[in-house]
């Protein structure tokens, strides 16, 4: 479905763009929405790239394209910081967060106009404190191209989930921006284009609960002053449900979606992967509490864990149905470097080094084909149109009415009405007319349309369309079983999911 061209703006690159010397001319290209042209490569002195592991092939293709024009290439961001060895052909690597390495890189590029003979690496030892982060260069993008806008409040997470590289990359003690920075960035976003939802990309929004509690009144105040122009979403650990004050403030600030890394409904498995924070409250209770505060839950699920059995798909599908979570990221376990999982599996001789043709680099306890088959079964059945629409409908009836009633004035700006009408028209055409599941679509959409719940129909229509399409591609083997999979297809959609919560 055209119109919205990408999920979220690339927060890291927007930050780097803002940090570069004011006298440097910057041309910003998001490959998800407007891929760089040959003319762009010719125009540049240096090509700076960032991305996640799933984008590895495309990152290396950009490097090749830039080198064909004789340009110096620089790569930073999460993938190269975790696995520099994935990118042997880049001229310069920037490893870690923004900090002393960024200053060294700028000085280097100022002094060297031609490509280095050997790869040069700059690694951050001193991170730039978040209060000194510049405001991301939102003016360089068209926010109308994105489903969600993104913002960062904190970096780092205090937990130690076995599979996660966030603590090693960004630290165990969350570092924070000031409330004024955050509200200033929100103002800049609103000025840059039509924004209706803003996603906090923090690894864990409640990694420092005290800080979240201090920020939230500022968000509430900002929303009130601006007449609630946006919905907020974030990633957080499930134990957020045990903090009533936090939840009430989030409701008042109009948080409508929370991504929780539930990972598995199996309590033995949660113990085994050191995700004990999910055990402090029964999972279903936590979801119900979040729903009661108007927040729809999005869940991460991991398959291929050592504790998985032939009964795991049934257990997961039962969980999906009972939890009524419309959207889940169901991934196969991957061992990322710099994680406790990698170290354990390496000791056990269970890392597959040459995993390019496989869905995972883990030697599973169960046969590989069986695990991949389980994953396909779960994805396909979770996103059968009827089941998916039922889960959306559950939230329409049981979750959304619990949201704060807000004035429509702040949300009904002309650019947003145009963006919304055009999205609605396309949804009604593609799903209501062209799709083979149009009967089910109308069964769910009509009651909402009759009540004037247009935003819901857009939400359900846009997300539903992509999930159903994604599931069908998975079932036919055209989609990877992990966001981190090395079995990357040439035509893989370049989404930028964050791992967290």
Residue with smaller CB distance to ligand SF4, 165 or 185: 165
Report how far residue 174's alpha carbon sits from residue 278's, in angstroms, rounded to the nearest whole number.
19
Residue with smaller CB distance to ligand SF4, 456 or 483: 483
Secondary structure of the chain: what % helix, strand, coil (to 5)? Answer: 50, 10, 40
Residue with smaller CB distance to ligand SF4, 239 or 360: 239
Report how far residue 153's alpha carbon sits from residue 179's, in angstroms, rounded to the nearest whole number.
8
Report how far residue 500's alpha carbon sits from residue 237's, in angstroms, rounded to the nearest whole number.
8
Of 230, 258, 225, 228, nearest to 243 by C-alpha is 258
Three-state DSSP state, 99: strand
Residue with smaller CB distance to ligand SF4, 163 or 222: 163
Report how far residue 93's alpha carbon sits from residue 347's, in angstroms, rounded to the nearest whole number.
29
The stretch among 157-165, 265-273, 420-428, 440-448 that binds ligand SF4 (CB under 6 A) is 157-165
482 lies in the site for ligand SF4, by CB under 6 A: no
The number of beta carbons lying within 10 Å of the beta carbon of residue 318 is 11
Closest approach of Cβ 474 to ligand SF4, in Å?
23
The stretch among 112-120, 158-166, 191-199, 374-382 that binds ligand SF4 (CB under 6 A) is 158-166
Closest approach of Cβ 12 to ligand SF4, in Å?
16
Closest approach of Cβ 268 to ligand SF4, in Å?
18
Q: Count of residues binding ligand SF4 (CB under 6 A)?
A: 12
The stretch among 14-22, 70-78, 161-169, 376-384 that binds ligand SF4 (CB under 6 A) is 161-169
Residue with smaller CB distance to ligand SF4, 235 or 393: 235
Closest approach of Cβ 247 to ligand SF4, in Å?
18
Closest approach of Cβ 166 to ligand SF4, in Å?
4
169 lies in the site for ligand SF4, by CB under 6 A: no
421-429: Cβ within 8 A, 24+ apart: 422/3, 423/3, 423/4, 423/458, 423/461, 423/462, 424/454, 424/457, 424/458, 424/461, 426/1, 426/2, 426/3, 427/1, 427/457, 427/458, 427/461, 427/462, 427/465, 428/461
Site string for ligand SF4, 196-215 (x = CB under 6 A): -------xx-----------
Taking only Cα atoms into account, the Rg of the chain, rounded to an integer number of angstroms, comes to: 22
Residue with smaller CB distance to ligand SF4, 79 or 237: 237
- The first and second tokens of residue 479, run together, are 């989609």
159 lies in the site for ligand SF4, by CB under 6 A: yes
The stretch among 23-31, 155-163, 307-315, 367-375 that binds ligand SF4 (CB under 6 A) is 155-163
The stretch among 10-18, 159-167, 174-182, 352-360 that binds ligand SF4 (CB under 6 A) is 159-167
What residues numbered 286-325 form the site for ligand SF4, per CB under 6 A? none
Residue with smaller CB distance to ligand SF4, 242 or 435: 242
Provide CB contacts within 8 A for 207, sequence distance 6+. 154, 156, 157, 158, 159, 174, 237
What residues numbered 221-260 form the site for ligand SF4, per CB under 6 A? 237
Which residue in the set 167, 304, 313, 340 belongs to the binding site for ligand SF4 (CB under 6 A)? 167
| Residue found by looking up tokens 């279903």 in the block | 284
Residue 426: C-alpha distances to residues 3, 4, 197, 420 (Å): 8, 11, 19, 10
Closest approach of Cβ 96 to ligand SF4, in Å?
17
DSSP 8-state assignment for residue 4: S
By DSSP bridging, strand 175-176 and strand 154-155 are: antiparallel
Which residue in the set 101, 151, 166, 341 belongs to the binding site for ligand SF4 (CB under 6 A)? 166
Which residue in the set 59, 157, 189, 462 belongs to the binding site for ligand SF4 (CB under 6 A)? 157
Closest approach of Cβ 177 to ligand SF4, in Å?
18
Which residue in the set 15, 143, 161, 448 belongs to the binding site for ligand SF4 (CB under 6 A)? 161
Report how far residue 183's alpha carbon sits from residue 488's, in angstroms, rounded to the nearest whole number.
38
Residue with smaller CB distance to ligand SF4, 205 or 228: 205
Residue with smaller CB distance to ligand SF4, 278 or 485: 278
Beta bridge partners of 22: none
Provide CB contacts within 8 A for 429, sequence distance 6+. none
- For ligand SF4, the binding residues (CB under 6 A) are 157, 159, 161, 164, 166-167, 203-204, 237, 261, 500-501
């Amino acid at each position: 479905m055209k119109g919205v061209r990408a999920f979220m703006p690339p927060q890291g690159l927007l930050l780097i763009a803002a940090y570069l010397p004011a006298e440097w001319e910057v041309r910003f290209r998001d490959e998800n929405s407007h891929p760089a042209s040959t003319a762009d490569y010719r125009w540049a002195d240096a090509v700076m790239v960032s991305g996640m592991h799933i984008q590895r092939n495309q990152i290396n293709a950009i490097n090749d394209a830039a080198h064909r024009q004789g340009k110096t290439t620089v790569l930073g961001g999460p993938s190269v910081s975790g696995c520099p060895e994935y990118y042997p052909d880049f001229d310069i690597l920037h490893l870690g967060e923004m900090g002393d390495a960024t200053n060294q890189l700028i000085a280097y590029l100022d002094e060297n106009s031609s490509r280095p003979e050997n790869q040069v690496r700059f690694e951050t030892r001193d991170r730039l404190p978040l209060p000194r982060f510049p405001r991301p260069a939102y003016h360089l993008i068209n926010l109308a191209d994105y489903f969600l806008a993104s913002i960062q409040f904190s970096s780092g997470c205090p937990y130690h989930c076995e599979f996660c590289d966030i603590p090693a990359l960004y630290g165990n003690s969350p570092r924070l921006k000031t409330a004024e920075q955050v509200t200033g960035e929100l103002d800049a976003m609103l000025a840059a284009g039509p924004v209706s939802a803003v996603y906090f990309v923090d690894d864990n929004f409640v990694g420092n609960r005290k800080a979240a509690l201090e920020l939230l009144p500022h968000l509430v105040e900002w929303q009130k002053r601006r007449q609630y122009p946006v919905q907020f979403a974030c990633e957080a650990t499930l134990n957020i449900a045990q903090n009533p004050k936090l939840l009430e403030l989030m409701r008042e600030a109009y948080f409508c979606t929370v991504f929780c890394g539930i990972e598995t409904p199996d309590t033995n498995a949660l113990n085994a992967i050191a995700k004990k924070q999910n055990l402090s409250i029964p999972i279903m209770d936590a979801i119900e509490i979040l729903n009661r505060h108007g927040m729809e839950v999005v869940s991460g699920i991991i398959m291929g864990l050592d504790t998985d059995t032939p009964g795991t798909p049934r257990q997961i599908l039962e969980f999906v149905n009972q939890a009524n979570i419309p959207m889940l990221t169901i991934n196969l376990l991957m061992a990322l470097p710099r994680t406790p999982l990698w170290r354990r599996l390496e000791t056990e001789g269970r890392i597959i080094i040459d995993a390019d043709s496989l869905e995972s680099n883990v030697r599973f306890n169960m046969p590989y084909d069986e695990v991949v088959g389980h994953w396909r079964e779960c994805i396909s059945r979770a996103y059968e149109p009827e089941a998916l629409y039922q889960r959306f409908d559950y939230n329409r009836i049981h979750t959304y009415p619990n949201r704060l009633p807000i004035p429509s004035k702040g949300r009904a700006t002309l650019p947003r009405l145009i963006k919304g009408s055009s999205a609605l028209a396309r949804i009604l055409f593609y799903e209501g007319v062209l799709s083979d599941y149009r009967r089910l679509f109308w069964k769910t959409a009509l009651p909402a349309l009759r009540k004037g719940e247009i935003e819901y129909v857009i939400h359900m229509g846009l997300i539903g369309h992509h999930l159903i399409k994604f599931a069908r591609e998975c079932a036919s083997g055209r989609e990877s079983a992990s966001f981190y999979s090395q079995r990357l297809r040439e035509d893989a959609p370049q989404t930028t999911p964050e791992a967290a919560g």
